[in-house]
């Protein structure tokens, strides 16, 4: 799963911090519960001691003199109850209203603290203590309504929970702020990479980024240097090879016309065919070798002057045809490709259109929201639908052509694919012949 560095750091910290805050809230809640319980138990211990001091022994057993009991124990369902278990029977507070609490006889020194429902079904905190008076075992059970204490505990938990939640949100906000501030230099690295992709800079500057990221940027710079040097060597080698192979091919072409081969027309035809195949194959491969593969030194090229310059070249090359060129390119429109790739692409398209047009050629370039559109139209015979698809098949490129098309298109198609674009062949609506449309991602175009 792809996640940002901010998410990789922030999500685990959020989970851990939430778990810690939840755990401390639980521990504090349990501590509050135990504190309130011990507080109530302390009061019950005091009441049990008073009851023990007030308990009297007579010949018939134990009794509790009426005036020695707190009045709250005489009020029915007051929330304060006692029950005394002796061998002779059970002494209950009037507040129990003739009901009994669940209890068992305890030995001397035994103590039990528990909760149960009272006579009005309210929760009670019950303390049972075992005593011995003159060899007579006595168990005193004292209870107090725990409803108020439960309500207080609930309010305390809710209040402390609100404080904990607020503290958690503040801490999460601080973590988010700290992470954003700490990772802000990474945005600078991202901006530099974007500028490098657009061609606004030739290498990355590791100065503003954190120390941990600098080795990564240094490696990118070294890789860019190596790629550019390899590209330069490849283009230089391709150029040298192209010049070196022209002389042997020229000599072979002249040998085809040698008088000794006049009487062997089949051999002359085969030699001519093979020489042309070698020429086309070498031109194609050398042309492809000069391409950057989308990894060259990108520069922002103004389209209008480059198109105008190439058209002037085409007019000189095909001056006998007196071609008319219609240019529809905004003067501020720029394209961000490797310069040699761009000139090779546009040069091949214009040369192909110049060779097949009757008189008129149109060049259009527009920058839309999602793509850069470059099209070259001519008023020539065009290409039938079934042959257009053949031209775009990899098996045809370099191995043959359709009505003079193919070799230039093969190189153009490779360039467009290197820049993640689309190469389309259509019928021209404006000129009636062939329309070659290049669709490139919008990041390769801009208005200056």
**Domain shared by 310 and 439, yes or no:** yes
pLDDT at 87: 78
In a domain? residue 181: no
Residue whose structure tokens are 């021209």: 428
In a domain? residue 250: yes
pLDDT at 396: 44
- In the chain, the percentage of residues whose pLDDT exceeds 90 is 10
**Domain shared by 317 and 398, yes or no:** yes
pLDDT at 247: 66
Range of the domain at 303: 296-447
Give the tens place of pLDDT for each residue, 106-150. 878 888 888 888 777 778 888 888 888 877 888 888 888 777 777
Average pLDDT over residues 47-72: 76
**Domain shared by 280 and 329, yes or no:** no
Number of domains in the chain: 3
**Domain shared by 244 and 368, yes or no:** no
DSSP-derived letter for residue 60 is T
pLDDT at 285: 58
**Domain shared by 130 and 69, yes or no:** yes
What's the mean pLDDT when you consider all of the chain?
Answer: 78
Is the CB of residue 340 less than 8 Å from the CB of residue 295? Answer: no
Give the tens place of pLDDT for each residue, 372-385. 999 999 998 888 87
pLDDT at 179: 80
Distance CA 193, CA 106 (A): 81
In a domain? residue 312: yes
**Domain shared by 266 and 333, yes or no:** no
DSSP-derived letter for residue 88 is S
Give the tens place of pLDDT for each residue, 181-193. 777 777 777 777 7
CATH of the domain at 28: 3.30.450
Give the tens place of pLDDT for each residue, 300-357. 888 999 999 999 998 988 888 889 999 999 989 998 887 878 888 888 899 889 988 9
Q: Quick check: pTM over 0.75?
A: no
In a domain? residue 177: no
**Domain shared by 39 and 137, yes or no:** yes
**Domain shared by 22 and 50, yes or no:** yes
Q: Kindly state the tokens that stand for 175.
A: 């973590």
In a domain? residue 221: yes
Distance CA 291, CA 411 (A): 9
In a domain? residue 191: no
CATH of the domain at 315: 3.30.565.10
In a domain? residue 170: no
**Domain shared by 282 and 316, yes or no:** no
Secondary structure percentages of the chain, helix, strand, coil, to 5: 55, 20, 25
**Domain shared by 251 and 304, yes or no:** no
Average pLDDT over residues 409-413: 80
**Domain shared by 254 and 319, yes or no:** no
Average pLDDT over residues 235-251: 64
Between 244 and 58, the more confident residue is 58
pLDDT at 137: 85
CA angle (20 as vertex; 14, 26 as ends), nearest 5: 135
pLDDT at 362: 94
């Amino acid at each position: 799963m792809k996640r940002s560095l901010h998410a990789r750091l922030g999500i685990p910290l959020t989970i851990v911090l939430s778990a810690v805050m939840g755990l401390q809230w639980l521990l504090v809640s349990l501590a509050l519960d135990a504190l309130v319980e011990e507080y109530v138990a302390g009061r019950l211990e005091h009441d049990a001691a008073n009851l023990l001091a007030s308990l009297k022994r007579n010949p018939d057993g134990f009794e509790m003199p009426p005036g020695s009991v707190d009045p709250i124990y005489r009020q029915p369902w007051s929330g304060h109850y006692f029950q005394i278990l002796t061998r002779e029977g059970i002494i209950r507070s009037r507040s129990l209203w003739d009901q009994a609490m669940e209890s068992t006889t305890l030995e001397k020194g035994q103590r039990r603290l528990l909760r149960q429902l009272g006579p009005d079904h309210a929760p009670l905190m019950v303390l049972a203590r075992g005593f011995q008076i003159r060899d007579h075992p006595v168990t005193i059970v004292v209870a107090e309504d725990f409803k108020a204490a439960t309500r207080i505990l609930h309010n305390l938990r809710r209040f402390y929970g609100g404080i904990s939640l607020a503290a958690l949100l503040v801490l999460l906000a601080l973590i988010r702020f700290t992470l954003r501030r700490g990772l802000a230099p990474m945005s600078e690295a991202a901006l530099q990479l974007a500028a490098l992709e657009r061609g606004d800079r030739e290498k990355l500057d590791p100065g503003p980024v954190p120390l941990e990221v600098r080795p990564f940027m240094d490696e990118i710079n070294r890789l860019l240097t190596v790629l550019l040097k390899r590209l330069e060597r490849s283009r230089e080698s391709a150029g040298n090879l192209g010049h070196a192979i022209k002389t042997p091919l020229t000599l072979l072409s002249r040998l085809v016309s040698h008088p000794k081969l006049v009487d062997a027309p089949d051999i002359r035809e085969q030699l001519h065919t093979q020489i042309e195949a070698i020429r086309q194959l070498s031109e194609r491969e050398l042309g492809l070798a000069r391409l950057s593969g989308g990894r060259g030194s990108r520069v922002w090229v103004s389209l209008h002057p480059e198109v105008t310059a190439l058209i002037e070249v085409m007019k000189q090359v095909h001056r006998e045809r007196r071609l008319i060129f219609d240019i529809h390119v905004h003067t501020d429109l720029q394209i961000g490709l490797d310069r040699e790739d761009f000139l090779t692409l546009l040069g091949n398209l214009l040369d192909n259109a110049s060779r097949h047009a009757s008189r008129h050629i149109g060049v259009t370039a527009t920058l839309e929201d999602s793509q850069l559109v470059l099209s070259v139209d001519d008023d020539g015979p065009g290409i039938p639908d079934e042959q257009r698809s053949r031209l775009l098949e990899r098996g045809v490129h370099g191995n043959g052509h359709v009505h003079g098309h193919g070799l230039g298109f093969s190189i153009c198609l490779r360039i467009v694919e290197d820049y993640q674009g689309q190469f389309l062949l259509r019928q021209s609506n404006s000129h009636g012949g062939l329309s070659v449309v290049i669709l490139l991602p919008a990041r390769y175009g801009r208005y200056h």
